[in-house]
Amino acid sequence: MKDVLAHRCRPLLRDLAGRHTLLAFDFDGTLAPIVASRHRARLSAATIRLLRALSEAWPCAVLSGRSRADVRSRLGGARLIAVVGNHGAEEEPRLDGAVAWRRKVRAWRRRLDADLGGVPGIDVEDKGLSLALHVRGREARRAAERALLELEGARIVGGKRVLNAVVRAAPDKGEALDRLVRRGGYEGVLFVGDDDTDEDVFRFPAAAPLLGVAVGRRRQSAAEYYLRRQGDVARLLSLLERLRRDEPRPGQRPPSGSASLANRSGRSTGAPRVMLRNFHVAQ
């Protein structure tokens, strides 16, 4: 993995700034730090200012495991092109199948209430289109895992002190981001995320080249770039806003040695899209 804030990655980010690029972010652990209580998660004042400025200069989106209403209420009024909730299942307009998915999740909740009621260290969060089991302690996690395995049609995704039950037939974050890319005709995407469900984006063969950035260097991640810590997300936002503000005029040649989108995809801007996963920096 390569540090996306390293100087050698600057030409790549500068090239993105001169193109029709979508910026997309996870919320918890990415835009906002992880906190003990999910209800207290919030953006810092500095991040709010940066996200507002960035969303004026770039098309920006947030893809979160939270419900859309929940995460939207925490974004400080930034003007985003899209907010996707429930790990990719909750979009606007509502996806076909959402009514059936909600029925399935309600049935899961009843089953878990019966199986886990009274088990200490487990807090079941019902988000309508998915469930999150917040667990504290080894025994609680084992009990939650056993109960989740009994849920029909569920895909279980781990996380930081949480286990997520999502409808297997519903789209994940990778599919949701791909729809945003196709809808907007973007030439490239930068996505930043920190958790297991964000790997669905890093692994997905999107309709435009993807620069995947993991928060924290993880050997098992499919992302090719990383930020050392959540606090570095603000540094990346500031850099992206500055590069967009200083982008070259149309027709101006990209900086020498840049890892341009056209070079990486083997096509000009107007050529048909190719299925690429990640950018690579020229060495």
The larger pLDDT score, comparing residue 265 to residue 178, is at: 178
Instruction: Give CA separation, 224 vs 191, 231, 252, in Å.
Output: 11, 19, 28
Assess contact for 208 and 279: CB atoms under 8 A. Answer: no
123 included as an active-site residue: no
In this prediction, what percent of the chain has a pLDDT beyond 90? 81
pLDDT at position 248: 55
Going from the N-terminus, what domains does the chain have, and what CATH number goes with each?
2-93+171-258 (3.40.50.1000), 98-167 (3.30.70.1020)
Beta-ladder partners of 211: 190
Q: How confident is the model at residue 43 (pLDDT cuts 50, 70, 90)?
A: very high
CA distance 206 to 15: 19
| Tokens read off for 88 | 């990719």
Q: How far apart are the two ends of the chain, measured CA to CA in Å?
A: 14
Q: Name the pTM for this structure.
A: 0.86
Q: Summarize the confidence of residues 38-52 as an average pLDDT.
A: 96
Dump pLDDT digits (tens) for 151-205.
Answer: 999 999 988 889 999 999 999 999 999 999 999 999 999 999 999 999 999 999 9
Of these residues, 15, 26, 70, 232, which one is catalytic?
A: 26
CA atoms within 13 A on the CB side of 46: 9
User: How many degrees, rounded to 5, is the angle at CA 109 between CA 107 and CA 110?
Assistant: 65
